Amino acid sequence: MNIDFKVMGILNITPDSFSDGGLYFGDLGKIIDRVAKMTEEGADIIDVGGESTRPNSDEVPLDEELNRVIPAVEEIRKRFDTTISIDTRKSEVAEQALNLGANWINDVSAGRFDPKIPKIIAKHNATAIVMHSRECPKKMQDNPHYDDVITEVKNELQNSVNLFISAGVSRDKIIIDPGIGFAKRYEDNLVLTANLDKIAFDNYPMLYAASRKKFIAQTIESETKNRLYGGLAAIGQAYLNGARIFRVHDVAETVDFLKMSAKLAVFKSITGGKK
């Protein structure tokens, strides 16, 4: 079958990420084992992060983030032929990781935190994930407000994309992300997930990152460890509405789910939806 989606496996090298903090922190052996497992399960991209950007999180000093991320990137690149994404807001982390063979930069601030990031990405002809958010992680959930969340997110994403293009990033190297859970109210996350097709513009690929996030638990009234099935339902809606890259903790389950979704979509197109 033709696979029209990509799965990004999350690798948080942090002590405090909301779901898996501490699992791989400070242990290269565990990091490599985790990458091997996610790759075997079908991950196309490994997203390496050394700073938690969960709500109310504090900034990690540059030296500490480098110490967490750079040895891991170096080891992953030696051992695996996979796309490496770096989840960072800092241009120095991005630069050093790209020098070691990383391919994508996933900046949740879309260049607002460190305006040098777009130029670093352009210099390396790397891929930029341009995500929507407001404020910094420490303050982003302090009463976020939208009059029209679809229109405002789309317009702000367009402005961010224009900044990256003006810095020299190639149009074919840009991926957009609506920023589920970042400066969003509960209802905002639901509205955006159900209307991703209205946020899309200029044929930029869309990444959807809702894995284990709070709005899923709020909907299904479950703890973190039990958010998988609610998350897959959200992924299914996002897929139907045009998202094709999915950042997740649960790689194997997501790959199987999307394989089935993609196959059904193919057969619907062949039959034209006829019974």
Q: Which of 213, 214, 268, 274 is catalytic?
A: 213
Q: From CA 141, how far away is CA 37, in angstroms rounded?
A: 33
Q: Round to whole Å and give the CA distance between 65 and 137.
A: 16
Let me know how many helices (H) and strands (E) the chain has, helices first. Answer: 10, 8
By C-alpha distance, which of 235, 265, 270 is closest to 251?
235
Q: Is residue 112 annotated as part of the catalytic site, yes or no?
A: no
Q: Are 66 and 87 in contact (CB under 8 A)?
A: no
- Identify whether 247 is a catalytic site residue: yes
* Residue of 247, 259, 274, 275 with catalytic role: 247
Helix, coil or strand: residue 6:
strand
Q: Is 192:203 a contact under the CB 8 Å cutoff?
A: no
DSSP 114-178: -TTHHHHHHHTT-EEEEE---S-TTTTTSS---SSHHHHHHHHHHHHHHHHHHTT--GGGEEEE-
d(CA 60, CA 202): 35
Q: What is the DSSP string of 87-105?
A: E-S-HHHHHHHHHTT--EE
Q: Which residues pair with 6 in a beta bridge?
A: 245
**Measured between alpha carbons, how far apart are the two ends of the chain, in Å?**
22
Given a contact cutoff of 8 angstroms between Cβ atoms, the answer to whether 273 and 235 are in contact is: no
CA atoms within 13 A on the CB side of 65: 23
Annotated catalytic sites, by residue?
A: 213, 247
